[in-house]
Amino acid sequence: MMNHYRYVRWMFLALGLTAVIGLTVMNVYSLYALHDNKVQSSVEKQKRQLLEYTNQVRSRFRYPVRSLWQLDMQELQAALTSPSTMSHDLLLIIDDASRDSLFSDIYMSTPDCTPCERFGDPVWQYRKDIGSFEQTTNYSRIVSDGLAITRTRMNALVQDYRWNTRVIFDAHNSMTVTLINSDSREVVAYLLFVIDQDYLVNSYMATKLADTFGMGDETGIIVWLHDWTKNEVLATTAPDVPYSYQNVDFIQNFPDLLNNWNLKATFTANPDTAASKASLNRNLFVLGVAMLLLLGAFIFMFFTAQRERSLAQRQALFLANVTHELKTPLAVISAAGENLSDGRVTDPGRLKSYGSHIFNESQRLRAMIDRLLDVARFSSNGIPIRKVRTSLVPFVNDYLNRKSSYLKSYDVNLRVDADEPVPEIDVDPSDLQSVLDNLIDNAVKYSPDEKFVGISIRSNGNFVDLSIKDRGAGIPKEYQPYIFEKFFRVEDALTAQTRGHGLGLSIVQDLVKRNDGTISVTSTAGKGSVFTIRFRQSDKVTEEQTTYTADTKYSKEQEPEHVS
């Protein structure tokens, strides 16, 4: 049943951790999706700006000739026999267009369009000084090419075309407006406008790029006006950034005009996307901290519960052991007392033996009760501390003298090393004696073969170190973090045969901490342990002491030597 509950606890821990991680992953995905939507929205906005820019350029070309479609094409066709009979309304429109810096020259040709077939045949050129057209043969190849392209396309379109004007571009060289009699499906005339490329690029399109997209790469977009036939950059919003086709994210063509040119753009981090990125990073940081705290809380609560459960089990085992050990001396005392009270024992030798049993078992019982009372008092901080200035070397010397009978009874091999001099410390002597009692008792109790106790006293800077060494069973590495916990005992064959309740080292640690010291252990299984206690030295240093190193084998015939 206990194993079943254990598996259930682990299962719920796994489910809780899975839920936390799953929710975190979903939140991270949502944050990234929100950021991506923000970036994509910004990119789509910039793409719409590119399209709007090309439409504005298209409108710029059409604006000077916007009124041509309002002309009466039948009347204009009848009047187009010579410049002198040409429509006054047409001339007004042409005159306005001629004053636009976008066009350098304006030409007109009739439908027979001989220049479309043979370069050098006469066409009509508009002259602003006379306000009319004049026939000329002095024109560039741009004029003949533009008229030829327009005538070819209109021959294919005129029969199905429903409007009275049609605009056709010869790349960035010319714009030709075809005037059409939509009733008879005939071409009335061709008006060719030669484009001033320098004005178009430098005065209009480059300025428009800067106004629309801003200058520099910090605006979130870099735009190049590019002639793809010549691989030439005509204008850009970031002159310091070299053009490379590999860096192009989007290409926008011009609708129905400037066939050899297009806009190439690369998208960079603009203030909106930068703010979104910063918000994403902040949210990820907060989410990460929250997840770690939540996971830590889950794990902490689980292992705390596990530890409390283990502590409860150890307490239950402790109570069972204590109950058993209390019953043993009580049973001996009760049996001996019963025999004595019944008068069945009259022999002096047996009376002495019974008395010794009663005395020894009562002492054992008293020691166990005192140990339990100490644990209770330490847990409730009910023991007052009385620190006095203490020199460790004389203190240890006196202690070993008082402990000599105990050490001789177990045939202990003792070694003591002390520095010269050793500073004094502020400590409660009663607490220090209890610490030595517990550590030396453990060293003897858990040394199945050689009963060795090594005591070392060292000056270490502003501290004094007191070490207790043995050559006993040692403590396995995996148990060392827990040996100072209440009721904890290393589980092996030796401890199973040795009496104990897992309280001694817990009491030692409490006593050391009460005196502002620290305790540590280094141990190897099968080779013994070293417990090191460190106290801060007192402000005043005692007089110089003689260095003492002694190896003493305690036996029934030899008294222990003093540590000096």
Q: What is the pLDDT of residue 406?
A: 80
Structure tokens at 435: 């610490």
Give the integer Cα–Cα distance in Å for 466 and 436: 10
Percent of the chain with pLDDT over 90: 25
Among 426, 420, 397, 372, residue whose Cα is nearest residue 535: 426
Handedness of CA 332, 338, 344, 349 (dihedral sign): positive
Query: 520 or 350: whose pLDDT is higher?
Result: 520
The more confident residue out of 561 and 367 is: 367
Q: What is the per-residue pLDDT for 19?
A: 82
104: Cβ contacts below 8 Å, ≥ 6 apart:
194, 195, 196
Is 389 strand, coil or helix?
A: strand
Asked whether 163 and 180 are in contact (CB, 8 A), the reply is yes
Give the H/E segment covering residue 553: strand 548-553
**Residue 323: band (very low, low, confident or very high) from pLDDT cuts 50, 70, 90:** low
What pLDDT score was predicted for residue 562? 40
CA–CA distance, 333 with 340 (Å, rounded to integer)? 10
Does pLDDT of 558 surpass 50? no
Q: Would you state the pLDDT for residue 370?
A: 67
Q: Is the pLDDT of residue 4 over 80?
A: no
Decide if pLDDT at 152 tops 70: yes
Hey, what domains does the chain have and what are their CATH numbers?
62-198 (3.30.450), 307-379 (1.10.287.130), 388-553 (3.30.565.10)
Helix ranges (H only) for 63-198 are: 73-79, 88-98, 141-157, 197-198
Q: Which residue has the tokens 């560039």?
A: 140
Closest CA to 168 of 190, 139, 201, 196: 190
Cα distance between residue 518 and residue 288, in whole Å: 36
Predicted local distance difference test score (pLDDT) of residue 50: 93
Retrieve residue 515's tokens. 């005196």
CB atoms within 10 A of CB 262: 17
Kindly state the helix (H) or strand (E) to which residue 104 belongs, with its residue range. strand 103-109
In this predicted structure, the answer to whether residue 556 has a pLDDT above a threshold of 90 is no
Q: What is the mean pLDDT of residues 140-169?
A: 89
Q: For residues 168 and 154, what is the distance between their CA atoms, to the nearest angstrom?
A: 9
Do 249 and 265 meet the contact criterion of CB atoms below 8 Å apart?
Answer: yes
Residue 555 has pLDDT above 60, yes or no: no
**Residues present in the chain in total:** 564
* Cβ-contact 560, 414 below 8 angstroms: yes
Q: Which residues contact 539 (CB under 8 A, 6 or more apart)?
A: none
pLDDT above 60 (res 317): no
CB 453 within 8 Å of CB 469: yes
Phi, psi of 199 (to 5 degrees): -65, -45
Render the burial of 315-350: b for 16+ CB within 10 Å, e for the rest.
eeebeebbeebeeebeebbeebeeebeeeeeeeeee
pLDDT recorded at residue 167: 93
- Check residue 496 and give its pLDDT: 45
Residue pair 170/176 in contact by the 8 Å Cβ criterion: yes
Cα separation values, 311 from 303, 308, 488, Å: 12, 5, 8
Look up the pTM and report it. 0.51
Q: Who wins on pLDDT, 200 or 13?
A: 200
CA distance 191 to 69: 13
Quick one: pLDDT band at residue 340, thresholds 50, 70, 90? confident
Cβ neighbourhood burial of 526 (10 Å; 0-12, 13-18, 19+): exposed
Q: Tokens 């094409």 appear where?
A: 73
The winner for highest mean pLDDT among 1-5, 462-466, 480-484 is 462-466
How does pLDDT run across 253-277, given as a tens digit for each residue?
998 889 899 999 998 876 667 777 7
Token pair in block for residue 235: 């204008």
Q: What is the pLDDT of residues 69-87, one digit of tens each?
A: 888 888 888 777 665 567 7
**Which one-letter DSSP state was computed for residue 270?**
-
Q: What is the mean pLDDT of residues 455-459?
A: 91
Confidence band for 545, pLDDT divided at 50, 70 and 90: very low
Tokens of 267: 């998208």
What's the CA gap between 360 and 366, in Å, rounded?
10
* Gap between the Cα atoms of 55 and 208, Å rounded: 12
Q: Of the ranges 50-54, 124-128, 231-235, 491-495, which one carries the lowest mean pLDDT score?
A: 491-495
d(CA 13, CA 530): 39
| Residue 168 phi, psi (nearest 5) | -135, 130
Cα(168)–Cα(197) distance, integer angstroms: 17
Q: pLDDT digit string (tens) for 349-379?
A: 777 777 776 777 777 677 667 666 666 665 5
Average pLDDT, the chain: 80
- Residue 446, pLDDT > 80, answer yes
Residue 453 has pLDDT above 60, yes or no: yes
What is the mean predicted confidence (pLDDT) over 408-420? 86
CA distance 496 to 141: 113
Q: Which tokens in the block code for residue 404?
A: 């000599």
- Inform me whether the pLDDT recorded for 218 exceeds 90: no
Q: Which amino acid is at 547?
A: T
The more confidently predicted of residues 232 and 382 is 232
CB atoms within 10 A of CB 191: 25
pLDDT of residue 463: 92
| Cα distance between residue 139 and residue 136, in whole Å | 7
Q: Which residues pair with 167 in a beta bridge?
A: 177
What does the pLDDT read at residue 444? 86
pLDDT of 466 > 80? The answer is yes
H or E stretch including 176? strand 174-181
Q: What is the structure's pLDDT at 551? A: 45
Which of 78-92, 110-124, 448-462, 545-559 has the least mean pLDDT? 545-559
Can you spell out the DSSP letters for 409-430? Answer: HTT-EEEEEE-SS---EEE-HH
Per-residue pLDDT tens over the stretch 488-515:
767 654 454 455 556 778 888 888 888 8
The per-residue pLDDT for 492 is 54
Give residue 387's pLDDT band: very low, low, confident or very high (50, 70, 90): confident
d(CA 512, CA 518): 6
Taking only the tens place, the pLDDT of each residue in 168-206 is: 999 999 999 999 988 888 898 999 999 999 999 999 999
Residue 544 has pLDDT above 60, yes or no: no
pLDDT of residue 557: 38
